[in-house]
A and B are shown apart, each in its own frame.
Chain A
């Protein structure tokens, strides 16, 4: 298990040395979500209705922006090939890298979302559900995104290709994530949506590291 320790330590250290990367994603999220009230007008009912969807789409796009970083730099400087030939399981390395990716991009979004939610007039129980749905959903975004990032590694114009590959896969997360808040405000209760998000998370945790590991092996051949 020491491999998990080393990969997490390494990637956290790198994230600390490149704070601008982390901040760019966060500011992108803040700015995109703040543009909507300016664009659609200050009608409180309308803002309250579109708020969860806007925050979720913002989180989706912000995560996608950061996917390029997940493996590209390690691929370019040769550290990724050293990881591929190390004696431990590559899936475990991938999982550790995704954990750090989430800590550096997903978690700041989750922490910022209550504040941005208030901006849309989302309050109380709905705000709690929104944050909880992002907390469950953003790790899925990182995990699924890792597949796209690994498949497009080393390709020219990979950034655009990643969005084509990954955005359709994000749709279920978006539906259940934004839907959870609607369900909660309409009185049905968010339990069902959140459970489904949790199920998606478990599924992604089980399936994606192996898929990413294979994709990386192919990309580096």
Chain B
């Protein structure tokens, strides 16, 4: 692999243990702006664990993850640059889509204007439902509430764990164009998905985990 000066995120010799079972060892990669890293592997091979590790939720058993040369542990700058969406939706059922979006963004350190949020909901197909409590929405719609964050956030690194599960074909199309736009603008994308998702933009990289 060519060492690029502008590689932003770098993982070296990562190892993961769950209980006393070793999920993977010696996983490493570099990610530069405009690159898409597809994490592949069968169920239980540690894809989600790897993504949690990269987002700082899970401490690696061995190895390091660095962002612009600095370890991501307690790295405020890194967490400002990152959006991690796991397989839990991370939205409150009692709150409306609008409240959920404003609050998650507020917690992540930036304020969303009402107008931008409405635009995002319109694009993602939740127009007219933004003030309903999310518990009355369907699975796919809740997923869209969670993904609406990608439309308003200006962060360079997206780490997404199975983002298009439960989405219909229209929404998958929208997500694909969103990913392509993100990569064209110099964003970085790390993702797991079992569906085929061909992106026409960005540089494709792949990690295969085996069980």
Contacts and interface: CB of A to CB of B under 8 A. Distances in A.
B84 A85 contact: yes
Contacts of A220: 57
B103 A86 contact: no
Interface in B66-100: 76-77, 79-80, 82, 84, 86, 88-95, 99
Interface string A10-53: 10011001100000000000000000000000000000000000
Interface stretch (B26-34, B104-112, B117-125, B182-190): B104-112
A6 to B, nearest CB: 4
Given A82-B104, A221-B57, A88 B94 contact: no
Most buried by A among B58, B82, B86, B92: B92
A7 interface: yes
Contact of A13 (B90, B91, B95, B111): B95
Contact of A85 (B82, B103, B133): B82
B192 interface: no
A6 B57 contact: no
Interface string B47-65: 0000000011111000000
B103 A9 contact: yes
Interface in A72-91: 76-79, 81-88
Nearest to A76: B88
A205 interface: no
A221 B92 contact: no
Given A2-B109, A9-B103, A82-B90, A14 B95 contact: yes
B107 A6 contact: yes
B108 A87 contact: yes
Interface residues of B, number: 29
A3 interface: yes
A81 B92 contact: no
Contacts of B94: 13-14, 17-18
A93 B107 CA distance: 9
Given A17-B94, A18-B94, A221-B59, A86 B107 contact: yes
Nearest to A80: B90
Contacts of A83: 107
A17 B82 CA distance: 30
Interface in A96-137: none
B103 A10 contact: yes
Given A2-B106, A86-B108, A88-B109, A77 B92 contact: yes
Contacts of B77: 87
A78 B85 CA distance: 9
Given A3-B107, A9-B103, 13 more contacts: A2-B111, A6-B106, A13-B95, A14-B92, A76-B88, A77-B89, A79-B90, A79-B91, A81-B88, A81-B90, A83-B107, A85-B56, A88-B76
5 contacts: A13-B95, A14-B95, A77-B89, A78-B89, A85-B79
Interface of B: 55-59, 76-77, 79-80, 82, 84, 86, 88-95, 99, 103-104, 106-109, 111, 133
Interface of A: 2-3, 5-7, 9-10, 13-14, 17-18, 76-79, 81-88, 93, 220-221
